Amino acid sequence: MNLIVLFGGSSYEHEISIVSAVTLKDKIKKHNLTFVFVDRDRDFYLIEKENMKSKYFSTFEYKKAKKLNLVKNGFEAKKLFGSEKISGVVLNLIHGRDGEDGKIAGMMQFFCIKCITPNLEASVVSYNKLYTKMYAKELGVKVVDYKYITDDSYTPDKFPVIIKPVRLGSSIGVTIAKNIDEYKYGLDVAFEFDNGVLIEEFIEGVNEYNLAGCYANEFIFSKVEKVKKDKFLSYEDKYLDFSRKEAKTEEVSSELEEKLKDNFRKIYNTTFEGSLIRCDFFEINGEVYLNEINPIPGSMANYLFSDFDEVIEKLANSLKYEKKIDIDYSYINKIQMAKGK
């Protein structure tokens, strides 16, 4: 299989995506890897494997690489005479905007390219934290209570609270406010990034568990990771986290593990078919709550799986093209006939 790793993007997490792709390079051994970079101007570049180092991008050396066009069934490099086609299964590794908001998924579907990614609809559900809440509630998965605001007219009556822009990942624009002053400042920060903000009670000392997985004829689950949470992870912490290669796993009870998997299955449903996601859960008084869906986890959470190559292979083989719609102009023909034309 030729696996086309698509990374970069016009996103606050552009640099994180580069780190994620560089990390993944050594983690996929069985498949042929092709790297396609989406630069900040959204131009596509074919990156040679030996150039997959973060410095190659930060110094703009990548501009010397071969430029690609997105075309039906794959990417195309213009040559002096004709063009060269790159085809295979795409792995969408663009974190944040472009990758997680559904643009890439929609484009891959439109251009009939198989792609490991949450599809367009699933992307919107996971990218917008308000929709994640609505979606989870609809499926009977518990979420922490929240208030959705679009201006600064609301003030919570209890602190601490956590303030989150609805559409960003990697803790960007997120603040924990212990009092009204911190709250006001946090709102300013959040509204810098988004026009919608979620306010949640911040529950200290809560246990947090991550579980990754996908569906490929059957559910494939990762190990459960108990998040070590000495403190709230800032953007920088999470950034370094994206290059992580090993899981910080800890034994969890089989009862809890089953509960986490149950909730994962409900969330994954059929909506997330074709993707490998990580669900981040809270455990509060023995009950499991969904915190976030991570639709494209850093370096695909490879460190949580014992045989990552196999997971990717099974998932890739389970991908389907969109259903073909027959268009035979029967309605227009009927009208033409009725008109006697």
- The residues that touch a copy of itself, with contacts defined as CB under 8 A, are 10-12, 14-16, 18-19, 40, 42-43, 54-55, 57-58, 69, 71-72, 97-98, 101-103, 106-107, 109-112, 120-121, 124-125, 127-128, 130-131, 134-135, 138, 148, 150, 195-196, 236, 239, 269-270, 322, 325, 327, 329, 331-333, 335-336, 341
Residue 295 DSSP label? S
Least distance from a copy of itself to the Cβ atom of residue 199, Å: 15
Decide whether 31 or 238 has the Cβ nearer to a copy of itself.
238
d(CA 207, CA 316): 33
Decide whether 216 or 312 has the Cβ nearer to a copy of itself.
216
- Beta-carbon contacts of 313 under 8 Å, excluding residues fewer than 6 positions away, are 1, 30, 31
Decide whether 134 or 233 has the Cβ nearer to a copy of itself.
134
Least distance from a copy of itself to the Cβ atom of residue 143, Å: 13
Least distance from a copy of itself to the Cβ atom of residue 312, Å: 25
Query: What is the dihedral sign for C-alpha 179, 184, 188, 190?
Result: positive
Residue 204 DSSP label? T
- Beta-carbon contacts of 236 under 8 Å, excluding residues fewer than 6 positions away, are none
Least distance from a copy of itself to the Cβ atom of residue 160, Å: 25
CA distances from 175 to 29, 30, 198 (A): 39, 42, 11
- Tokens standing for 273? 């078919």
Least distance from a copy of itself to the Cβ atom of residue 333, Å: 6
Decide whether 81 or 286 has the Cβ nearer to a copy of itself.
81
Decide whether 180 or 240 has the Cβ nearer to a copy of itself.
240
Decide whether 246 or 328 has the Cβ nearer to a copy of itself.
328
The full DSSP string for 85-108 is EE-SEEEE---STTTTSSHHHHHH
Q: At what angle are helices 129-138 and 120-127 packed, to 10 degrees?
A: 100
Least distance from a copy of itself to the Cβ atom of residue 207, Å: 28
